[in-house]
Amino acid sequence: MNSLQAIQQQMLQAVLAERAHLPFTIRGDAIADADSRLAVYRHGYRIRLRDALKNEFAGLRSMAEQRFQRMLDKYVAAHPSEHYNIRWYGAGLAAFLDYARPWREQPQWAEMARLDWAISTAFDAEDEACIGMVELSSVPSDTWPGLLLSLQQNLHILAAHYNIEAFRRAADRGDKRPRLRRFEQARQILVWRKAMSVHYRLLEEDEWQVLSAVIQGEPFASLCERMANLHDETSATPRMVMLLQGWLEAGLIRGWSFG
């Protein structure tokens, strides 16, 4: 008699294998032969994983068009699922597209997958409180230079060399798919959740520079200095105020402290 462990290992291999081979423990009968019986599990495994990915990668689906199915099939063949929740199966897709031929030769696929995944994971990330202008106004004005802003921990910033944000937006809205365009210089995309809604948008260059300074823990005086280096005297301060208001309204800031 085969042990339970041996039977499960045989079944696992029979389901995962690219070509069907029959575990010796399965019985066929007059209703259906053993091959047909095993095929239900082999087929179901691939369909389920593919469907789970389709739900999470709306931008990639639009960008890849008819190549999407083959891309997913190759990923499923190369990467067995290891998490109990099928929802997390897509976590490795961007990395797969980074190294697997032929997709690694066209980095827009991995970039797009990374944006889709960031949006997907923001959806059910941990809830975080955010502060508004009222709370921040309570900070005494003479202490502002040393003010350290804390951003939402679930916020993502992704580098984009292609117009991946436009692909995702078109997919979300059901709009016509845009043409693929490579930026002259890499841009940054911000992904975050405010209350229960996930948002994403391209960052302007000055906003990206100041926001990365916030992430690195620089005080408010240093943020203003950076802004002054990017704009002339008359526009630097209004621009800083505008960005700060925008971050507060978007729910990006969860609190502050002093260095």
Give me 15's structure tokens: 């389901």
Among 193, 203, 208, 222, interactor with another protein by CB under 8 A: 193
Among 55, 70, 73, 123, interactor with another protein by CB under 8 A: 123
Among 85, 138, 216, 234, interactor with another protein by CB under 8 A: 85
Among 20, 41, 139, 194, interactor with another protein by CB under 8 A: 41
- Report yes or no: 187 and 160 within 8 Å, Cβ to Cβ: yes
Q: Applying CB under 8 A, does 72 fall inside the site for another protein?
A: no
What values do phi and psi take at 22, rounded to 5?
Answer: -85, 125
Q: Cβ closer to another protein: 19 or 179?
A: 19
Q: Cβ closer to another protein: 55 or 237?
A: 55
CA atoms within 13 A on the CB side of 23: 21
Q: Applying CB under 8 A, does 86 fall inside the site for another protein?
A: yes
* Nearest alpha-carbon partner for 131 in 46, 34, 256, 5: 256
Q: Applying CB under 8 A, does 124 fall inside the site for another protein?
A: yes
Q: Cβ closer to another protein: 50 or 169?
A: 50
What DSSP assignment string belongs to 37-78? HHHHHHHHHHHHHHHHHHHH-HHHHHHHTTHHHHHHHHHHHH
Q: Cβ closer to another protein: 81 or 209?
A: 81
Give me 63's structure tokens: 């960008």
Q: Cβ closer to another protein: 6 or 242?
A: 6
* Nearest alpha-carbon partner for 245 in 129, 154, 136, 155: 136
Among 18, 65, 82, 142, interactor with another protein by CB under 8 A: 82
Among 45, 161, 169, 218, interactor with another protein by CB under 8 A: 45
Q: Applying CB under 8 A, does 30 fall inside the site for another protein?
A: yes
Distance CA 182, CA 83 (A): 35
Give me 150's structure tokens: 């804390």
**SS3 of residue 182 by DSSP:** strand
List C-alpha distances in Å: 251 to 111, 219, 244.
25, 19, 11
Distance of closest approach, residue 75 Cβ to another protein, in angstroms: 15
Q: Applying CB under 8 A, does 15 fall inside the site for another protein?
A: yes
Q: Applying CB under 8 A, does 153 fall inside the site for another protein?
A: no
Among 185, 196, 216, 233, interactor with another protein by CB under 8 A: 196
- Report yes or no: 114 and 157 within 8 Å, Cβ to Cβ: no
* Residues in contact with another protein by the rule CB under 8 A: 1-5, 7-9, 11-12, 15-16, 24-27, 29-32, 34, 36-38, 40-41, 44-45, 48-49, 52, 80-87, 123-128, 193, 196
